[in-house]
Amino acid sequence: MKTYTLAVIRGDGIGPEIVEETLKVLDRAGERFGFRFDYKPCLMGGCAIDQTGLPLPPETIEICKACDSVLLGAVGGWQWDSLPGHLRPEAGLLGIRAALGLYANLRPARIFRPLRQASPIRQDIIGEGLDIMIVRELTGGIYFGERGRTEKAGQPAAFDTECYTVPEIERIARVGFEMARKRAGRLCSVDKANVLESSRLWRETVLRVAADYPDVELSHMYVDNCAMQLVRHPRQFDVIVTSNIFGDILSDEASMISGSIGMLASASLGESSGSRAFGLYEPIHGSAPDIAGQGIANPLATILSGAMLLQYSLNEPAAAAAIEAAVNKALETKRTGDIFEAGYEKVGCAEMGNAVCEGLG
């Protein structure tokens, strides 16, 4: 039987609970499709700070690099809010992305059919469903640019610098084009080229790369217009490719269009080797410390992140599709508190995990 090694970062808050349900689902999928996992637990975030003094211990990076892929719950919490920025749990996220070379973030925004009524957007706008893939550059831009404190006109000031190189833009553009080629063949590149010089370089580079993908329909959109269009007419989008900060904001907006941030998975990928890419998989929501330990968290975003792990890093597309189908089946009768509505059975974190396992057979 095939064995995959998986680094497991449970993290903080609800992280351990939602990861536990995901491992349960992955094990069931392995039983059905003929593979197993060897899990390697490691620390990151607030729990790592408490035990080691660092948000990202060097040992964690070593473990992750030695594994086939990485599953992450969530990090952060009020307990560590007073720490300096470089020692806060969120610094671990930036650090692990850079250390593992994870430059492409995939954030699918889709509506599972049983959840159509949960979207705040009118049903005539949503139509039969929503399925958008946002490809976000992850290791460049303003989050990794030069920053600091200074004075301006005799007053305290601060700065953060947006900087992209041509190779950084080109490689994420190719991820976007390849993704569009596998889907409906439409790619929208989002920038702010009417104002920002970094965005002008972005657009020039994307246009040059487009020559290698004549089968993909390319369009360009300013980020402010894209934010409006996601609400006005979301079905016009297939794949969106954009910068680090724009992708961070737009993917959160798209998550709420789809009904609940508790349903949105993500994949952070490095270089591909054939049909497999090393990646880190996590829900896009936070650690929700206010409900930690109560057994009421929604594990579906993390479970769906596990499905993405199977698809993109382990080349197990049948198992990935089966998990997505099992999630859809579970939602036909059961809901956690964040997506609950009358007529459905209200369940907790473990019960939802069990329901997905049952759907896998």
- The one-letter code for the residue type at 117 is Q
Q: How many CA atoms lie within 13 A of 158 on its CB side?
A: 3
The answer to whether residue 50 is catalytic is no
> Could you confirm whether 143 is annotated as catalytic?
yes
Residue 248 bears catalytic tag: yes
CA–CA separation, 85 and 55 (whole Å) = 11
Q: Which of 252, 329, 344, 346 is catalytic?
A: 252
Closest CA to 322 of 306, 345, 335: 306
Q: Which of 143, 164, 213, 312 is catalytic?
A: 143
Q: Are 272 and 178 in contact (CB under 8 A)?
A: no
Residue whose C-alpha is closest to residue 121's, from 108, 130, 131, 132: 130
Q: Distance between CA atoms of 81 and 225, rounded to whole angstroms?
A: 34
* Distances, alpha carbon 112 to alpha carbons 117, 119, 235, 250, in Å: 10, 10, 15, 20
Handedness of CA 193, 196, 198, 201 (dihedral sign): positive
Q: Where are the beta strands (DSSP E) in the chain?
A: 2-11, 35-41, 69-74, 104-110, 131-137, 147-152, 155-160, 186-191, 217-222, 239-242, 265-273, 276-283, 334-335, 345-346
**What is the chain's length?**
361
Q: Active site residue: 12, 191, 238, 248, which one?
A: 248
Please identify which of the residues 4, 164, 192, 281 carries the catalytic annotation.
192
Distance of CA 200 to the CA centre of its chain: 26
Residue 280 backbone phi and psi in degrees, to 5 = -120, 135
Told to judge if 192 belongs to the known catalytic residues of this protein, a careful annotator would answer yes
> CB 86: neighbour CB atoms within 10 A?
10
Parallel, antiparallel or unpaired: strands 155-160 and 35-41: unpaired
What does the buried/exposed string (b/e) look like for 184-215 if buried means 16 or more CB atoms within 10 Å of the residue's CB? eeebbbbbbbeeeebbebbbebbeebbeebee
The catalytic site residues sit at 143, 192, 224, 248, 252
